[in-house]
Amino acid sequence: MARISVATKARLPPTLRVDSANPAVVKSLTRLSRESLLALALDWLSDSAVQNAVPYLRRPPGEDEDDDEDMDDLYPPCRSIDELRQLYGDMQQQKGSKRDVVSRILEGDWRHGLTLYQLAMADFSYIDDHPTSHKWSAFQILPLQQPSQDGGDNEVLRVDRQSLKIPRFHPATFLQNLQEHILPDVKAHYHFYRPDSFPVLLLRIFVVDSPYTTDLALSSLDQTGTAANFDSSRTIYLAFPDGSPSLYITKSQATGPVALGDSKSLQGLIVNGVPKALSRPRERFRLQSTNLSSRNLWALLGRRGPGRTNAAGGGWSIYADDKNKKSPLDSTLPTPRLSRESSDAVMGRKRKASLDLAERERKRSKLIAEARFGESGRMADGRGVEKFEVVLQDPFPPSDAVDESGEEEDHDPTRTNRRRSKVDAVLQQANQNDEDDLDGQGQSSEWTPSLKISFNGTHVFAGIRQLVGAGIINGERMPGWMTGEDCVTTGIVRHGRIRGHKGSGI
């Protein structure tokens, strides 16, 4: 009698195997180094993981007629798990090529296929070796207000800015709620992993377009003979930082070619489903984009990690540092740095030769850079972002506001008052809401050019700090958003202040 498979809402089991000859399986192993492959194989054979990664072993004599054929293989199967562990342990002490290890795994010890559990461990091993292989987007978990008694089912709940509630996270309950809310029609495999180099909990979600949880989920073949469902699968990663109401999400990665927009649709389902999975009765939450994206997890942890729920970057970062106990509210102020030279002269030391104008300007630029950036923006801090984009929506200054002669401006006694009035006007305009700004732009005859500025590099804000320290950028007139004090990588600048691209609350 033929076996009957019924479509269910259950998740994919970790023991579901994928053919070892599948190109995606071969790719996931060949991108690892030889040392990582051997360490990964030993992890598969550990007591806690071997039940989800059972290898191909030689059966006892007399139970299998193909025992002689197994002995003639290029990679004869071992008799026990301990013997296989000893084999891979000896390979770690020997020299060899990565191709031999991959062939040993796919054609020898796991010739009958790799499980979804093994593929998940292989992907996380690649993340350990290449921490910047994925681009993460930071989201903030915000509590919602309680629904009113008169409100119906269609009532839109707003964010409760005064609430200090944070969601309780339990992996098993979270996965159960997540499967129920966002993935009822597709099958997914979930795998948690805690890396040693980052204080986060990673979640890998492997999605397959199939209503089955058995081998039929990966056994549909196309014209080329490969598993069609597996080639159309997608993988997305979630990172839960320790002690922070934030969440980092990557874009979905497809194993094979997929239709345009599938990546965004899966990420949208995750963004809409995660707060529902975290919510409880009388405690609802939502995810809000912080407009912060980077391939460096340390950059996200430094800006949206434990204790960093506000935008305190740039020069303000000195007050968010736990090691720095100085505060502007202290009764005893610290000694200014420039007073050290005068104190040295009083102590009778040899007076230094007067610095020339160039050396004085160079020293002044370094002090300005340190004042504007604080302890942030250093090349060796390991918290660099690769890209920073802003769109300027400020109107072009009128011609009558620009002085024709710079010398007259320097000797103008009303310069200070005029500059102060301009600052007040800018602050007054910045405090207006978006609707007033849009109405003002529609009625005003000022020309607002479409200008987009993009900074690219290994450490964008460290590069800007070096330019300020070298005197190339005027650190006194430089806007604050160029120091990274708003903790965003994408935004819109209006009236000198940066705002989130899609409403981050900045």
Q: Is 333 helix (H, G, I), strand (E, B) or coil?
A: coil
> Would you state the structure tokens that stand for residue 208, as one six-digit string?
């397959």
pLDDT, tens digit (0-9, with 9 covering 90-100), for 383-400: 899 999 999 888 877 766
Q: Is the pLDDT of residue 405 over 60?
A: no
**Residue of 205 and 445 predicted with greater confidence:** 205
pLDDT grade, residue 294 (50/70/90)? very high
Write the DSSP string, 376-402.
-S-TTSS---SEEEEEE-PPPPPGGGS
pLDDT grade, residue 485 (50/70/90)? confident
Phi and psi of 164, rounded to 5°?
A: -110, 20
For 294, the enclosing helix (H) or strand (E) is strand 285-294
Query: Which of 30-34, 39-43, 350-354 shows the lowest per-residue confidence on average (mean pLDDT)?
Result: 350-354
**Residue of 19 and 312 predicted with greater confidence:** 19
Q: Could you give the dihedral angle defined by the CA atoms of residues 434, 438, 444 and 449, in that order, rounded to the nearest 10 degrees?
A: 100
Q: Is the pLDDT of residue 503 over 50?
A: no
Please give the pLDDT value at position 337: 57
Max Cα–Cα distance, the chain, nearest Å: 106
**Residue of 327 and 82 predicted with greater confidence:** 82
Q: Is the pLDDT of residue 88 over 80?
A: yes
Q: What's the average model confidence in pLDDT over 48-59?
A: 90
pLDDT, tens digit (0-9, with 9 covering 90-100), for 156-201: 778 877 777 888 888 989 998 888 876 666 788 999 999 999 999 9
Q: Which domains does the chain have, with CATH numbers?
A: 20-112 (no CATH), 131-144+161-304 (3.30.310), 314-329+357-399+417-500 (3.10.20.720)
Q: What mean pLDDT value characterizes the chain?
A: 79
Q: Is 306 helix (H, G, I), strand (E, B) or coil?
A: coil
pLDDT grade, residue 300 (50/70/90)? very high
Please give the pLDDT value at position 396: 78
Nearest-CA neighbor of 138 among 303, 270, 358?
303
Q: What's the average model confidence in pLDDT over 120-143?
A: 94
User: Kind of pairing, strands 17-18 and 114-115?
Assistant: antiparallel
Nearest-CA neighbor of 14 among 252, 192, 263?
192
User: Kind of pairing, strands 114-115 and 136-143?
Assistant: unpaired
CB 239 within 8 A of CB 247: yes
CB 393 within 8 A of CB 481: no
Please give the pLDDT value at position 162: 72
CB 273 within 8 A of CB 468: no
Q: Is the pLDDT of residue 409 over 80?
A: no
Question: What letter represents residue 309's amino acid?
Answer: T
pLDDT, tens digit (0-9, with 9 covering 90-100), for 411-468: 454 544 554 555 455 445 545 544 445 554 545 567 888 889 999 999 999 999 999 9
Distance CA 313, CA 322 (A): 14
**Residue of 500 and 441 predicted with greater confidence:** 500
CB 267 within 8 A of CB 249: yes
CB 468 within 8 A of CB 403: no
Please give the pLDDT value at position 408: 46
Please give the pLDDT value at position 333: 64
pLDDT, tens digit (0-9, with 9 covering 90-100), for 328-351: 666 666 666 555 554 555 555 555
Q: What's the average model confidence in pLDDT over 224-252?
A: 81
Q: Is the pLDDT of residue 299 over 70?
A: yes
Distance CA 401, CA 7 (A): 71
Q: Is the pLDDT of residue 143 over 50?
A: yes
Please give the pLDDT value at position 255: 72
pLDDT grade, residue 262 (50/70/90)? low
Number of other CB atoms surrounding residue 60 within 10 Å = 9
Query: Which of 220-229, 314-323, 363-372, 443-452 shows the lowest per-residue confidence on average (mean pLDDT)?
Result: 220-229
Residue count of the chain: 506
pLDDT, tens digit (0-9, with 9 covering 90-100), for 101-110: 999 999 999 9
**Residue of 11 and 459 predicted with greater confidence:** 459
Q: What's the average model confidence in pLDDT over 59-74?
A: 63
pLDDT grade, residue 211 (50/70/90)? confident
SS (H, E, C) 207-254: EECCCCCCHHHCCCECCCCCEHHHHCCEEEEEEEECCCCEEEEECCEE
Please give the pLDDT value at position 399: 63
pLDDT grade, residue 313 (50/70/90)? confident
Please give the pLDDT value at position 469: 93
Question: In whole angstroms, how far apart are CA 452 and each of 313, 390, 394, 455, 493?
Answer: 22, 6, 12, 10, 10
Write the DSSP string, 466-481.
HHHHTTSS-TTTS-GG
**Residue of 497 and 105 predicted with greater confidence:** 105
Angle between the 116-129 and 34-44 helix axes, to the nearest 10 degrees? 140
pLDDT grade, residue 323 (50/70/90)? low
Q: How many CA atoms lie within 13 A of 390 on its CB side?
A: 20
Please give the pLDDT value at position 165: 81
Q: What's the average model confidence in pLDDT over 322-326?
A: 65
